[in-house]
A and B are shown apart, each in its own frame.
Chain A
Amino acid sequence: MREVLTTCVYCGCGCGVYLREEGGRVVGATASRNHPVSRGNLCVKGWHLHEFIHDPARLTTPLLRKNGTLTPVSWDEALDYTTAALGRLKADHGPDSLGVLASAKCTNEENYLLQKFTRAVLGTNNIDHCARL
């Protein structure tokens, strides 16, 4: 069993939490005693932080809508389709016809990259996230 310190993904408190890993599975979560926010405890969501990670409903392959149905495809096919669609809309209707939603659940790095992608690659400032929700 191995314990890795990470940061809880639920609310804005930012508790320090150890994930317990055994045999490639995350099997538990426990608080950091000295972390300034969690100080040894977590709320009910934090204590069960590991429970959704291996849930069988997790998406594990890219999906592409074919004849109305989302169908498993390769990463290449999904990425090619996406870039073609975004490129076509940008050419036909201009960059401001595209909109991007970043996420208050993703990391700073991911949000930074996504706003950079939106502004520098798609060429629009149409980016927002659900900060107000």
Chain B
Amino acid sequence: MAGLATTFGSGAMTNSINEIEQAQVILAVGTNTTEAHPQVARRMLDAVDRGAKLIVIDPRRTRLAECATLHLAIRPGSDIALLNGMMRIILDENLHDDLFIEMRTENFLALRDMLYRVDLAEVEVETGVPRDRIASAARLYARAQKAVICYCLGITQHICGTDNVQSIANLAMLTGHVEKEWTGVDPLRGQNNVQGACDMGALPSVYPSYQPVADPTFRRKFEQAWGVTLPEQPGLTLLDMTHSGGQGAIRGMYIMGENPMLSDPDATKVEATLRGLDFLAVSDLFLTETAQLAHVVFPAASFAEKTGTVTNSERRVQLIRQVIPPLGETWPDSDTIMALAARLGYPMPYESQAEVMEEIALLTPIYSGIFHDRLETGWGLQWPCWGREHPGTPFLHKYYFTRGKGHFVPAQPIPASELPDDDFPLLLNTGRVYHQYHTGTMSRQCPTLTREADRALLQLNPADAKGLAIRQGEMVRLTSRRGSIELAASLTEEVTAGSVYTTFHFHEAPINRLTTAAADPKAKCPEYKICAVRVEKVSP
């Protein structure tokens, strides 16, 4: 979310999910919405039924793309070129919003100068999208009164993820499509509480509410509240930890409810790191691939066995409520953390989760009006919520951006970290399927979901398959510079020739043994969407 934070000052969905259905034009970039965010897709389709235009930018012909007014099937990784091309056309045809640019933004001249150097013929070659289609998309988006851009990991999981996001923000600001209801830029969050975990400061460089640890003012604030001296240096990011090699910087880890063995890129390195640790403790519902490597495993209570809050994509803080007592000897994670803290000489005697939230409200400005009793009735509160009487905030950046003026940051196309060559001629893209979720820890224990999707499939264009003499359903070996797995082929026009696609849900085909840990230098988001691979028949 570094991209939006730089341009708008706040890295979150600017709208509420319900606003999407009132938009006149929806630009969906790098989001397989029908499978990964069904409720958002439902609003998009409702909007289409009301006459809205849907533009989908995706290398794959997803179901959403089939429902679109315009599908731009770009070459993977050419998002910036395409967006710059759209902006150049908007500028040339005078479709930009002068007043908005003047009143609400800064650094426009830098963007303009960069756009004047964009060659539309080159854009056509680079993106593989005909110029007239790029122009149609640009005109549709720019001319709308109410236009929403939704993007997801197809934008961020690139080496140029931050620049991708900034290009999207540039496009929205250029046309004045921010800071209104039914109009905005909406990153969709992949997991139920990504937003909340970030808000709570489960990040190496910031305390709750994105207050930097390196800033002495904030450090003093938390030192005072917690009664301890706090470390000054920002910490290591996830990949720095899980790729540290075991006997490197990190020697002991505590992992709560995550499964880096399947979820992190270049998983062979992750395994070497975890195996090499002096100590690993894991808390989870199931004995995950990561927990299997641990020295200590804590059995965690599930969401049905505890109380707490989670924050969704549209910044809505909601309760999860206890339905049954913890099963067996499981404990809610909060109890485990408190017990560890007490044993290490720092008691955290909270009587309830509501009391924890009271401390959060005290130290986290955007949550300062959020208390459990306010969440008991109604449907939660959307941050920022500045006090007990504050009703929450359905859409951001009304009247002004969080950072004051929106800041244009021109972005140039950046090549992917690894491109196809003779040895690895195909591009691998990874993502999710509708019936499964993340590393499958929960969803693969659901009989109905497992019946619908119980194994990894490699989507392969029939033209490529023909060249390799691979038939529908046949087992193939997929190899990158980092590893090799076997899985079944699914021949489909959904992927273009030269590209293959699969998911990371299944431990039998751990695709992240193949993906690259090359990451965006600012957001540290790994390039899951592009690496070079080859496909071979598995000889019988």
Direct contact of A and B (CB under 8 A): yes
- Which residues of A lie under 8 Å from residue B415 when comparing CB positions? none
Q: Write out, one digit per residue, whether chain B residues 279-318 have a CB within 8 A of any chain A CB (1) or not (0).
A: 1010011110001101111111011111011111110111
Asked if B344 and A83 sit within 8 Å, CB to CB, the answer is: yes
The answer to whether the Cβ of B449 comes within 8 Å of any Cβ in the partner chain is yes
- Rounded to whole angstroms, the CA-CA distance of A102 and B300 in the bound complex is 14
The answer to whether the Cβ of B103 comes within 8 Å of any Cβ in the partner chain is no
The answer to whether the Cβ of B180 comes within 8 Å of any Cβ in the partner chain is no
Asked if A125 and B524 sit within 8 Å, CB to CB, the answer is: no
- Which residues of A lie under 8 Å from residue B447 when comparing CB positions? 51
Q: Write out, one digit per residue, whether chain B residues 374-407 have a CB within 8 A of any chain A CB (1) or not (0).
A: 0000011000000000000000000000000000
- Given A48-B449, A108-B196, the answer on whether A102 and B202 have CB atoms closer than 8 Å is yes
- The residue among A25, A62, A107, A132 with the most chain B CB atoms within 10 A of its own CB is A107
Q: Which residue of B lies closest to A79 (CB)?
A: B339
Q: Closest CB-CB distance, B301 to chain A, in whole Å?
A: 10
Asked if A116 and B226 sit within 8 Å, CB to CB, the answer is: yes
Asked if A133 and B526 sit within 8 Å, CB to CB, the answer is: yes
Q: Which residue of B lies closest to A56 (CB)?
A: B445
- Given A43-B38, A70-B297, A133-B528, the answer on whether A26 and B313 have CB atoms closer than 8 Å is no
- Given A13-B313, A36-B379, the answer on whether A126 and B235 have CB atoms closer than 8 Å is yes
Asked if B310 and A126 sit within 8 Å, CB to CB, the answer is: no
- Given A25-B324, A89-B278, A97-B251, the answer on whether A113 and B449 have CB atoms closer than 8 Å is no
The answer to whether the Cβ of B538 comes within 8 Å of any Cβ in the partner chain is no
- Which residues of A lie under 8 Å from residue B325 when comparing CB positions? 24
- The residue among A48, A61, A80, A127 with the most chain B CB atoms within 10 A of its own CB is A127
Asked if B528 and A59 sit within 8 Å, CB to CB, the answer is: no
- Given A59-B300, A60-B327, A108-B308, the answer on whether A101 and B258 have CB atoms closer than 8 Å is yes
Asked if A59 and B330 sit within 8 Å, CB to CB, the answer is: yes
Asked if A99 and B323 sit within 8 Å, CB to CB, the answer is: no
- Rounded to whole angstroms, the CA-CA distance of A11 and B353 in the bound complex is 23
Task: Count residues of chain A with CB under 8 A from any CB of chain B.
Answer: 94
Partner of A62, one of B233, B298, B308, B434: B298
Asked if A108 and B309 sit within 8 Å, CB to CB, the answer is: yes
Q: Which residue of B lies closest to A3 (CB)?
A: B323
Q: Write out, one digit per residue, whether chain B residues 512-530 have a CB within 8 A of any chain A CB (1) or not (0).
A: 0000000100011110100
- Which residues of B lie under 8 Å from residue A114 when comparing CB positions? 202, 256, 333, 337
Q: Closest CB-CB distance, A22 to chain B, in whole Å?
A: 10
The answer to whether the Cβ of B234 comes within 8 Å of any Cβ in the partner chain is yes
Q: Closest CB-CB distance, A83 to chain B, in whole Å?
A: 4
Q: Which residue of B lies closest to A50 (CB)?
A: B304
Asked if A112 and B200 sit within 8 Å, CB to CB, the answer is: yes
Asked if A60 and B337 sit within 8 Å, CB to CB, the answer is: no
Asked if A10 and B437 sit within 8 Å, CB to CB, the answer is: yes
- Given A38-B39, A65-B296, the answer on whether A51 and B327 have CB atoms closer than 8 Å is no
Asked if A65 and B314 sit within 8 Å, CB to CB, the answer is: no
Q: Which residue of A lies closest to B338 (CB)?
A: A113
- Rounded to whole angstroms, the CA-CA distance of A97 and B108 in the bound complex is 45
Asked if A19 and B304 sit within 8 Å, CB to CB, the answer is: yes
User: 20 pairs across A/B with beta carbons < 8 Å?
Assistant: A14-B316, A21-B323, A62-B296, A63-B297, A65-B296, A70-B292, A82-B296, A85-B295, A89-B278, A95-B231, A109-B360, A112-B360, A115-B201, A119-B230, A122-B344, A124-B235, A125-B231, A126-B204, A130-B264, A131-B203
Q: Which residues of A contact B (CB under 8 A)?
A: 4-16, 19, 21, 24-26, 34-38, 41, 43-45, 48, 50-55, 57-65, 70, 75, 78-83, 85-87, 89, 93, 95-117, 119-133
Nearest 8 interchain pairs by C-beta: A14-B312, A60-B328, A107-B308, A12-B189, A125-B235, A102-B202, A103-B257, A51-B446
